[in-house]
Structure 1
């Protein structure tokens, strides 16, 4: 799994509201310090709590971010040309979109230099609905790299208007939904599920619907359960830890925090019933809370 890749979820910081270095490297336990959050002062495994890391660190971080941006623009342009040639072959465009994600996501993580530990890699080749918590731009790079070939993402339909990235997303035959009203959103979800089943695809989605500001798990939306009920695909949770410390929301400073990607065993949805949607959402949310460190769990 260490060199396997995943989904072409093409997103930058401007459209994250839509939808590894050495993967065998272990994450070292970091010193415990005291920080304050909404629940008061508590110990926290976070040596990156202070935003002032010095000007040398800031310059290195800026160089890495600019290098990431330029590198991603180059690979995006190259694969956009490939996609245009493959317009008559929709599934081949999905495959090429995934290859783009494998190459680009892996490259971006190498540039950033964060040590990454991968657990449960045996579950990464399932045909399934992959879900992931979301607290950092780095989540996008990891998802691009690590979800399997034959995986499509879901974004709101307006993504097409984002220069180059949006057009490549559409060319890669990924799915878009209409979130203008609840009825349209549900119908779009049904159409997305039919497309996934018809073409034997997997799916990747962020059930929180947006990015957490502080790394703590947000409430889950119901869309991924609707997709499961329509497709009957199993759900494979991907639990990401440490990404909010490496690259925080609203910051352009990337830190060398260790990251962990943990795949949990597939959860069958064959016997799920439409009447119990809220129960399934709550069950999956609790499962994530159990596998996240204390500093990323939702507050009471």
Structure 2
């Protein structure tokens, strides 16, 4: 019942914000749409009965440009971090989502990046576009280096794409540990249980001493930081 109500409410919100969205689109305004997105995520948090505890936000500059990297447990992870991270972070989203009426156009307008998961070349183009935006506009990006949600809540192997983005732009990597979203909405579940979520932001990792030749060392360091705050049932089995 709670999920059905939330879907109805969000549909109503989309209808009501269409005039606001059109003004932003016509005049090339992006930041108000991002703030509106944060407000919507905050509303969803309250309606779903989610209690969020965050730590480590003081570890990075809210005005800086970073590549945020987190473990991926649930559909909740992206909206959750978009809401918590102080700066208006951009994200990579599978291209099919951009086909949604109004929402898809809004994401494109604020420079969210569509990703074609089935094509390697499409993924490279998405990373190149993100790198250009970071250099030109000082954006921060949120990436889930596992590439997909964990099926059992345990930390998976990391893909390299996001690390290439950090090396290309020189942006520090902020490792993030998420705890609790798997229990509230695991992969394959279409409703959200109320409950507590914990998010830990670790100190930024400079990429200045790394190169493509030492990429595996950088990946291992970020993965180790994320794993350091996770409970044992979130860690890979030996």
**More displaced 10-residue stretch of structure 1: 232-241 or 68-77:** 68-77
Structure 2 Cα separation of the partners of residues 144 and 76 of structure 1: 18
Structure 2 Cα separation of the partners of residues 178 and 243 of structure 1: 25
Aligned to 1:122: 58
- 1:288 matched to 2:235: no
Structure 2 Cα separation of the partners of residues 158 and 114 of structure 1: 28
Structure 1: 4+ residue segments shifted above 4 A: none
Structure 1 Cα separation of the partners of residues 53 and 69 of structure 2: 18
**Aligned to 1:261, which of 180, 184, 199?**
199
Alignment partner of 1:238: what SS? strand
Alignment partner of 2:76: what SS? helix
Q: CA deviation at 1:80?
A: 4.5
Structure 1 Cα separation of the partners of residues 55 and 209 of structure 2: 28
> Tell me, which stretches of 5 or more residues in structure 2 are unaligned?
none
**Aligned to 2:136, which of 182, 191, 198?**
198
Structure 2 Cα separation of the partners of residues 128 and 207 of structure 1: 14
**Aligned to 1:161, which of 87, 99, 124?**
99
Q: CA deviation at 1:102?
A: 1.4
**More displaced 10-residue stretch of structure 1: 199-208 or 246-255:** 246-255
Q: CA deviation at 1:232?
A: 0.7
- 1:139 matched to 2:80: no
Aligned to 2:40: 104
Contact 2:180–2:198 (Cα < 8 Å) also in 1 = yes
Contact 1:109–1:141 (Cα < 8 Å) also in 2 = no
Contact 1:84–1:171 (Cα < 8 Å) also in 2 = no
Q: CA deviation at 1:187?
A: 3.5
Label 1:79 to 1:207 Cα distance change in 2 as closer, same or farther (>3 A). farther
Label 1:299 to 1:162 Cα distance change in 2 as closer, same or farther (>3 A). farther
Structure 1 Cα separation of the partners of residues 128 and 74 of structure 2: 29
Aligned to 1:66: 4
Alignment partner of 2:226: what SS? helix
Q: CA deviation at 1:286?
A: 2.1
Q: State the aligned residue count.
A: 236
Label 1:170 to 1:234 Cα distance change in 2 as closer, same or farther (>3 A). same
Contact 1:80–1:171 (Cα < 8 Å) also in 2 = no
Structure 1 Cα separation of the partners of residues 111 and 192 of structure 2: 31
Q: CA deviation at 1:163?
A: 3.7
Structure 2 Cα separation of the partners of residues 88 and 208 of structure 1: 37
Alignment partner of 2:213: what SS? helix
Q: CA deviation at 1:213?
A: 1.7
> Tell me, which stretches of 5 or more residues in structure 1 are unaligned?
1-62
Structure 2 Cα separation of the partners of residues 239 and 112 of structure 1: 21
Structure number with greater Rg is 1
Matches within 5 A, 1:12-91: 63-90=1-28
